[in-house]
Structure 1
Amino acid sequence: MNNIKQHFSIKDLENLCGVKAHTIRIWEKRYNLLTPDRTESNIRSYSLHSLQKLLNVTYLVNSGYKISRVSKLNEEEINEYVRRIVSDNNSKNQAINSFKIAMLNYDLQLFLTTYDKLTERRSFRQIFIDIFMPLLTEIGLLWQTDTISASHEHFITHLIKQKLLVNTEKLQYEKPVKEDKAFILYLPSNEIHELGLLYVNYEIVHHGYKAIYLGPSIDLESLPNMLSFHENTIFVSYFTIKPEKHKIKEYISDFDRIVGDKRKSKLWLLGRQVMNLSSENDSLHSYFHSVEDLLRKL
């Protein structure tokens, strides 16, 4: 249990709950909402229990309850109000908060319980778009601000990856119904961040196309033998950290030389590293700023 983060700064609470530190201090002073510990240098320190309470209070305030009313409720009543609203609205904000708590505690059962509850009313695709994508964006920001550690990020992304793989496998038992083109999905050398590409693969299969997923860190020299897979083959890659922005044009030139010599092969690119590239596409290369942009071209 020693690897579980138990104490949080007010900045951590601000990042995790979306409530300004100034507001948290006001809620403490005016409503006695939280009672932080103090370090020897008089800096506030909050327990995991306080974080959980603030997440629920924030959820109620964002749902239309006044803080003056919420502050008069005991914790059991706060939890009951939250459960009631979640039951009525199947709220994505509360699900995201539950996944955050699961991440902070490395709590597999809370992750699975929250996910199973969501599946009662939502498809996996809805869960990923409405819940997981905003959650992953928040997690990236939390990691950048040192609110969470790399182990927190790896824990939650691995569980999301598992769900992606399971739901993609379900679709793969169905025969592709669109045979005008096929997709080869891979990550370039030294690129290991595959969650985005896994979701693109899920969407391509979901849309009824043939797809071969090669995974992370693939050399260009490994790709030419894939050209016999289908007459109209489209290569799809997701650049998160590799190649560096200043090397992308060189990478595309190498792709054309190594993969496109025998047949003019199409290359579709997504990811953080291509965000600043011009969205103007030619007949072979397409750059997408989001998965939604790519789906519109399918």
Structure 2
Amino acid sequence: MNNIKSTFSIKDLENLTGIKAHTIRIWEKRYNLLQPNRTDTNIRFYSLESLQKLLNISYLNNNGFKISKIAALKSDDIPKLVKEVVQSDSTNNHTIDAFKLAMLNFDPKLFYDTFNGLEKEKEFMAIFYEDLIPLLSQIGLLWQTDTITPAHEHFITSLIRNKILIHTENILSKTTIKSDTVYVLYLPDNEVHELGLMLINYQLVANGHQSIFLGQSVPMQSLEDILSYYDNITFISYFTVKPEKDDINDYIQSFSKTLLKKPSTKLWILGRMLEEIDLTSLPRQIVPFESIKDLVKKL
């Protein structure tokens, strides 16, 4: 059975395009831009084609085209005009929309075609900072509002993960280690959001640092084994949902007591859960960062 999401509520369209539901209704009534279907109880719902059209309309409108001019175009001419504008457009709006459509359709070809097109114009890290990180931020909101399912999120993040792995492998053979510090990258117990950590790993490798990537859900006691192998260790972790609010301060204290016995051992931390920590009271060996960019500057 094909369970790909193919119908959308007007609230879904608002979340996916950024266009208010009220505006969508006005455009329907005044310009006949979309033709929604209706349920037996007279509630609007829209096709995937309508979503595609609205994303294109939104893109053109954000690039200075009046809605009346867009409405006068034939439906087939709208995507053609979008392609023309994209070629001279320095923003990433349409790229993010293409990634969204790839996610909604579970369409890996559209994802890779879009990504590979970007690689002809930008460096790998620029794609992340300018296109994929904003996309992931939007995906988080879409998931919270039930516009997409966890399956959509897993699908798109697995494709992004593949790209990071490929680029990391390619650069490993071209770099030499130039630092005595060993960076150990891990996520705490039950934390599985690893894309940010993978991106940091890529940056470390690209800059000639020795990086040991341990990945998801690593118990603290497992980290102790690393201490006997190296003298200068900097642990790096990304706290997205774990440790939870009530546990995070205890986790920090326990980490400091267990693993930061030597002055040369440090812990660098990022992620949303840092909001739950009193950053001014952290031990000297624990350094918080607001973003991946800030951490990379420290390397």
Give the TM bin, normalised by the shorter chain. over 0.9
In structure 2, the residue matched to 1:169 is 169
In structure 2, the residue matched to 1:16 is 16
In structure 2, the residue matched to 1:30 is 30
Worse-superposed segment, 260-269 or 17-26: 260-269
Worse-superposed segment, 107-116 or 169-178: 169-178
Amino acid at match of 1:297: K
Amino acid at match of 2:22: H
Q: Which runs of no fewer than 5 residues in structure 1 stay unpaired?
A: none
For 1:177 and 1:264, the matched residues in 2 are separated by 19
In structure 2, the residue matched to 1:292 is 293
CA shift for structure 1 position 215: 0.7
Worse-superposed segment, 175-184 or 162-171: 175-184
Is the contact between residue 249 and residue 277 of structure 2 (CA under 8 Å) also seen in structure 1?
no
For 1:253 and 1:273, the matched residues in 2 are separated by 15
In structure 2, the residue matched to 1:56 is 56
Amino acid at match of 2:125: R
Is the contact between residue 233 and residue 264 of structure 2 (CA under 8 Å) also seen in structure 1?
no
Identity of aligned residues (%): 50
Is the contact between residue 10 and residue 44 of structure 1 (CA under 8 Å) also seen in structure 2?
yes
Is the contact between residue 245 and residue 274 of structure 1 (CA under 8 Å) also seen in structure 2?
no
In structure 2, the residue matched to 1:191 is 191
CA shift for structure 1 position 171: 1.9
In structure 1, the residue matched to 2:160 is 160
For residues 163-198 of structure 1, the C-alpha deviation after alignment (integer angstroms, 9 at most, x for no partner) is 111111122213344314221000111111111211
Partner of 1:245: helix, strand, or coil? coil
Q: How many residue pairs were aligned?
A: 298
Partner of 2:4: helix, strand, or coil? coil
Amino acid at match of 2:218: I
Matched, 1:246 2:250: no
In structure 2, the residue matched to 1:133 is 133
Show the 5 A alignment for 1:1-298. Answer: 2-89=2-89, 91-261=91-261, 265-280=265-280, 282-298=283-299
Partner of 1:75: helix, strand, or coil? coil
For 2:21 and 2:175, the matched residues in 1 are separated by 53
Partner of 1:199: helix, strand, or coil? helix
For 2:294 and 2:122, the matched residues in 1 are separated by 23
For 2:109 and 2:244, the matched residues in 1 are separated by 38
For 1:229 and 1:81, the matched residues in 2 are separated by 59
For residues 126-165 of structure 1, the C-alpha deviation after alignment (integer angstroms, 9 at most, x for no partner) is 1111110000000000000000111011100110111111
Worse-superposed segment, 204-213 or 235-244: 204-213
Say what the alpha-carbon RMSD is for the aligned residues: 1.6
For 1:275 and 1:172, the matched residues in 2 are separated by 34
Amino acid at match of 1:207: N
For 2:136 and 2:222, the matched residues in 1 are separated by 31
CA shift for structure 1 position 266: 0.7
For residues 197-223 of structure 1, the C-alpha deviation after alignment (integer angstroms, 9 at most, x for no partner) is 111212222232111101111111111
For 1:68 and 1:146, the matched residues in 2 are separated by 32
For 2:228 and 2:33, the matched residues in 1 are separated by 65
Is the contact between residue 248 and residue 277 of structure 2 (CA under 8 Å) also seen in structure 1?
no
TM-score scaled by structure 2? 0.95
